[in-house]
Amino acid sequence: MQFLMWVLNLCLILSLHLPTICGQTQEKSELDEAAPAACSEVDRAALLGFKASVLKDSTDILSSWTGKDCCGGNWEGVDCDPLTGRVNSLILQRPADGKQLSVFMKGILSPSLGNLHFLQVMVISGLKRIGGPIPESFSNLSRLTQLVLEDNFLQGEIPSSLGNLPMLQILSLSGNYFSGQIPPSLGNLRNLQQLSLARNSLTGQIPTTFKNLVNLQSFDVSFNALSGTIPDFIGKLQNLTFLTLTSNQFSGQIPVSLGGLVKLSELSLGHNHLVGQIPLQLGNLKSLSILSLDSNQLTGQIPESISQLQNLWNLNLSRNVFADPLPKTFSRGLPSLLSIDLSYNNFSLGTIPEWIINRELSSVYLAGCELRGKLPNFTRPDSLSSIDLSDNYFTDGLADFFAKMSSLELAKISNNQLNTDVAAIKFPDGLSTIDLHANQLYGSLSSILNNKTSKFLEVIDISNNQISGSIPEFGTGFLNLKVLNIASNKIGGQIPSSISNLAKLERLDISRNQIGGTIPTMTYAHNLCLCGKPLPPCKGKNQRKLMSQ
């Protein structure tokens, strides 16, 4: 009975004081939440080690790395866990508006960054002059889920120790100068979802260990020097949505197994040495929106199964050895198609197929397809933004061809047999590129170079025609012009001094005409790579070398 009374008294005492105790606990919790843990000295030293390895920072990001608290929010690009005070994210990217070459960081990736043991995200990209190798110490970052080191100046081989980062989901090393082979150890990264090694100088084959990357969704090794055949096991990576192997040295045939990648949205295998026919099984890729097989040595006919790709909007089969006829099923298939490129194969089309003329397309490229006669009238000309019908045998229809193409930006109809007065051509206002070289055009140059066509114009090539007249004055409307090629015509007069207003001009060719007088000084006076009359004479080997380049 005494024990029971003692328990009752204890409960009464606790009930009287519990609100106070709870209040103190809640107050302490709120204080803890309001005052996050300060920056770890280990992490601060690791960050300052990186700052010390940067010789120049014109991004001005690292100027904010001052004071003792790297977690206080003032260190740009640094985030911490508020409870532990450990750095968990480091994101250093070139400013979005930093297009100038003067915006960069120059230095190396300090091995001290490997001491950020709680780091989950490291993004150091677009800084242009961060060079040297990837430090071996990065293998200590066992919590890392994202490692993005794009568009820098990193060199050497990709460390095999990166295969020791078990949590890694995103690895992108694109846009650097890495050489050597892809380390097979990367096949250990079973949680990897995105892998990009594009735009480097990698050689060798795709490692067989990559068959273990069963969670991989995006795989991009484009613009390297990889060789060998495309591994058959890639067709078993069922989660792939993007597969880009463009611009390498892959050989052999396209694996039939790729037809099993039912989630694939983009398949880009262009600019390789692939042979054989397109596998019929690619027609099973119901999610495919981009199919690019250009610039290989693929043969045979385009399989009718391609017409089953209901979501395909971009089809590029140019620069292969495909033969006639085109699949008849294309006329009732490919409902999502917006862009088609069949240029430079062994097609003898004669006329543009009706299923192309009647569609609402944005891009049509049929160069070198042996098209003849009059230029066609597209049913939806207002949808076209770019068209290339070069290297064919068109003879007529140019005057009104562009008239209703209100969205047209790029027009190439070079190397045909078009015989038209340029004054009769109705150019759209928004054109940025006009290429009509190697035809039989005649009339005055001012009919093309005028205030109406100049607003967005960047490239104009009307060389190898019969155009006459003189070069007109260049007003402020031509400020975007980068390429002007009027060579091999019948143009006379002198070069106007206003040509110096073309501040963005990169290429000027007025050769093989009847132009007299002198070249206005302002077009070349500030070009440090030029010497010789009327500029100061060339001196020494360096100047002669520059002149020969």
Tokens of 211: 């068959």
Question: Residue 326 and residue 346: Cα distance in Å, rounded?
Answer: 11
Inform me whether the pLDDT recorded for 196 exceeds 90.
yes
Pairing of strands 121-125, 386-388: unpaired
Inform me whether the pLDDT recorded for 18 exceeds 90.
no
Pairing of strands 78-80, 87-93: antiparallel
Inform me whether the pLDDT recorded for 334 exceeds 80.
yes
Nearest in space to 291 (alpha carbons), one of 313, 308, 324: 313
Nearest in space to 194 (alpha carbons), one of 128, 164, 239: 239
| Cβ count within 10 A of residue 460 | 24
SS3 495: coil
What pLDDT does 474 receive?
87
What pLDDT does 527 receive?
66
Average pLDDT over residues 317-322: 98
E runs forming strands in 385-518: 386-388, 393-396, 410-412, 433-435, 442-444, 459-461, 466-468, 483-485, 507-509
What pLDDT does 449 receive?
86
What pLDDT does 97 receive?
61
Q: Which pLDDT band, with edges at 50, 70 and 90, does 539 fall under?
A: confident
Burial class (CB in 10 A: 0-12, 13-18, 19+), 24: exposed
The 10s digit of each residue's pLDDT in 386-406 is 999 999 999 999 999 999 999
Average pLDDT over residues 52-74: 94
Chain-centroid distance of CA 320 in Å reads: 23
Rounded to 5 degrees, what are φ and ψ at 251?
A: -125, -175
Buried b (16+ CB within 10 A) or exposed e, 353-382: bebbbebebbbbbbbbbebeeebbebeebe
What pLDDT does 429 receive?
87
| Per-chain mean pLDDT for the chain | 90
SS3 125: strand
The 10s digit of each residue's pLDDT in 412-429 is 999 999 999 999 999 998
Q: What are the Cα distances from residue 516, in Å, to 260, 462, 492, 493?
A: 65, 20, 7, 6
- Beta bridge partner(s), residue 459: 433, 483
Question: Residue 124 and residue 140: Cα distance in Å, rounded?
Answer: 17
Inform me whether the pLDDT recorded for 195 exceeds 80.
yes
Instruction: Please state which of the ranges 116-120, 175-179, 304-308, 479-483 shows the lowest mean pLDDT.
Output: 479-483
| Cβ count within 10 A of residue 448 | 24
Report the predicted TM-score, pTM, of the whole model to 2 decimal places.
Answer: 0.87
Inform me whether the pLDDT recorded for 291 exceeds 90.
yes
Question: Residue 418 and residue 409: Cα distance in Å, rounded?
Answer: 21
Inform me whether the pLDDT recorded for 28 exceeds 50.
no
The 10s digit of each residue's pLDDT in 145-180 is 999 999 999 999 999 999 999 999 999 999 999 999
What pLDDT does 1 receive?
38
Q: Which pLDDT band, with edges at 50, 70 and 90, does 9 fall under?
A: very low
Residues in the chain, how many?
549
Tokens 């209100």 found at = 406
